[in-house]
Amino acid sequence: MVVAAGNGAYGSTEKTSAVRKPLMILPTIPRALSPGDQFMLPVTVFAMEPSVRQVSVNLQQNPFFDISGSPAQNITFDKPGDQVVYFNVKVKDVQGVGKLRITAQSGSEKAADETEIDIRNPNPFITRSMQMVLSPGQQWNASAKAIGIPSASTASLELSSLPPMNLQKRLQYLIRYPHGCIEQTTSGAFPQLVLKQLTDLSDAQQAETDRNIRAVIPRLTNFQNRDGGFGYWPGAPDSDEWGSSYAGHFLLEARLQGYLVNESAIQSWKSFQRTKANQWVPATNNFYGGDLQQAYRLYTLALAKAPELGAMNRLREFKYISPEAKWRLAAAYALAGYANAALDLVSGLPLEFPARQHPGMTFGSDLRDQAMALETLTIMGKRDKAQQLVGTVAARLSEDNWYSTQTTSYALLAIAKYCGKNPGKDKIIATVQVGGKPVQINSMKYLTQIPVPFAQGEVPMQVINKGNNTVYARLITTGQPLTGDSIRPTGNPSMLSMTVSYMGTNGKPIDISKMAQGTDFIAKVTVRNTGKQGTYQQMALTQVFPSGWEILNARLADAEPGYKSSPMTYQDIRDDRVHTYFNIRENETLQYSIQLNASYAGRYYLPATTCEAMYDNRIQAASGGRWVEVLNR
């Protein structure tokens, strides 16, 4: 385009000019693939000049793919135009970023295309562990066995002077958690802030921890509302009070450690906290858990050096204040410089809490409440009581029980803070052999981690306690089973029922085991609350689809879908999966539908569909995975 102007007059002209080569190629590839997938790779060859007649098309061999049949094909053009050639490709049992390089040649004319594609295992991570308590001089021999693909499986040996807390398992659970509300996003990073107080970190581990923390800090601003609070989901109209306190707590701790935090975001958050603190009164809608929510808010204000003493005193005089709220309020008084008031609040209080029937507005559990009490004792300098409690919290983490992101994060946080303020008296002295390579351990930290690399599927390991005190050893292995491996879906049909069905655009059921390429269809999930425990909050429905299917996102197409789903609180649509979040009342049935297209010919794995209450693992349902085919037209 040419534009001209002069003496108040303007003019322009434009001309379309085609940019092309005599020979061009265009492959059509799924956005992502899984180990074991088999697909038909179409390559469109364009002959733009009459001189292009005999064309040889080649697909290069590489470590990620096997080619069934010849990697080279020849085609003939009588005149300029386009033709399609097909290659049958199978994904090897590997993970990573694969490359498909295709070349074409006709005489002196050449064309090439190289496409990177993510090869990911859609199956969930599985963690296995074994442990041994080593007396002085005792030896332990064990073997770490890879789960799934050895190169993608990880293992870690933990040696601890405390009861082992499954640190690697619990930390990776938080980092890899697939959902991302304000609480879960914060929980994924919070323990990493204090990790170095608990264990020695290598330069690479410290760099990775810093990257994770720096990535989460700006992400949290996506949740912040105009009132200064943080919504449970990005764009939520109302701020979540516990989530606001929790996210603000993390940002304050991050700033104290030297991370860059937006000051205006902190000031806006403090204003929100102050307003809510002064407005709070007990009511029917916040009677259970509301006092703890207020106590935590007051604690964060005290941590921000802006204590609201009037609100603290009013809560202290509340007739029905719970023990867990007293522990949290005592921490606020201690930070504000009122040690005697803090001591009076916790005098005679128990260090055990009843198991919760519901996580409630604070996403809590009895273990989370114990962790908060441990943090309070650490702040108050009560080492003897804290020492008793830290062993209890660590021992509960070492069990193979499920804990929510909130409970896991706060338990690790409280243990690390205790360890940072109370250096260990017992050294960990041990000789370790991993795969025949010796490692000498001599550490004053409470916990030491030794990575176990998988060159093959199994690594022998030996530990000898050379010190004078007991050492707790735990070997933790994490990995994803191979696609198609037998993974038994877990569920509790007495609490939650779920059915998954597929239908055509005409509403009639279809068989997804074999579908013609180009078919539009709908995946419908029906979920029912069986009425055993009232309303279920913070439900998450996860649907991961095969590589050969495409999600038809009506929002991106600026069109209304031809089906209707039940109300939801949030929906996250990605390339190959959809996360849907909702609440479901007692005896209520909800339906959620996703429009799909069978886009790429081949054989692919359809992972399990799961539905769960994110803070109560008793409420869950799942369907099994299976192989499906998309037939070439």
Query: For 161, phi and psi rounded to 5 degrees?
Result: -90, -10
Domain 125-161+424-479 has CATH 2.60.120.260: yes
Q: pLDDT for 44-56, tens place per residue?
A: 999 999 999 999 9
Q: How far apart are CA 314 and CA 308, in angstroms?
A: 10
Is the model's pLDDT at 486 over the cut of 60? no
Q: Is the CATH code 1.50.10.20 the one for domain 162-351+360-423? A: yes
Task: Give the model confidence (pLDDT) of 77-98 as tens digits.
Answer: 999 999 999 999 999 999 999 9
Split at pLDDT 50, 70, 90, the class of 561 is low
DSSP letter string, 307-338: --HHHHHHHHT-TT--HHHHHHHHHHHHHHT-
Cβ neighbors of 156 (< 8 A, separation 6 or more) are 168, 449, 450, 451, 452, 475, 476
| Percent of the chain with pLDDT strictly greater than 70 | 97
CATH superfamily of 496-631: Alpha-macroglobulin, receptor-binding domain (2.60.40.690)
Write the pLDDT tens digit of every residue in 322-353: 999 999 999 999 999 999 999 999 999 999 99
Model confidence at 620, pLDDT cuts 50, 70, 90, reads very high
> What is the pLDDT at residue 562?
58
Residue 450 · residue 483 · CB < 8 Å: no
pLDDT at 287 over 80: no
For 345-382, write each residue's pLDDT tens digit. Answer: 999 999 999 988 889 899 999 999 999 999 999 999 99
Percent share of the chain, pLDDT over 90:
79
Q: What angle do CA 102, 549, 581 make, to 5 degrees?
A: 130
Residue 449 in contact with residue 168, Cβ under 8 Å?
Answer: yes
Q: How far is CA 578 from CA 178, 179, 567, 596, in A?
A: 11, 11, 15, 11
What are the backbone angles phi and psi of residue 199, rounded to the nearest 5°? -150, 160
Annotated domain spans of the chain: 23-119, 125-161+424-479, 162-351+360-423, 496-631
State the average pLDDT over residues 477-492. 76
Phi-psi region of 107 (alpha: psi -120 to 50; beta: other; left: phi over 0): left
CA dihedral 403, 404, 406, 407 (to 10 degrees): -10
pTM (predicted TM-score): 0.89
Which segment of 179-183, 198-202, 217-221 scores lowest on mean pLDDT?
198-202
Q: Which two tokens stand for residue 281?
A: 């009164």
pLDDT in tens, 105-159: 999 999 999 999 999 998 888 888 899 999 999 999 999 999 988 888 999 999 9
The superfamily CATH assigns to domain 23-119 is Immunoglobulins (2.60.40.10)
Contact 469, 116 (CB under 8 A): no
pLDDT for the residue 15: 85
Q: Do domains 23-119 and 496-631 have the same CATH topology?
A: yes
**Is pLDDT above 50 for 559?**
no
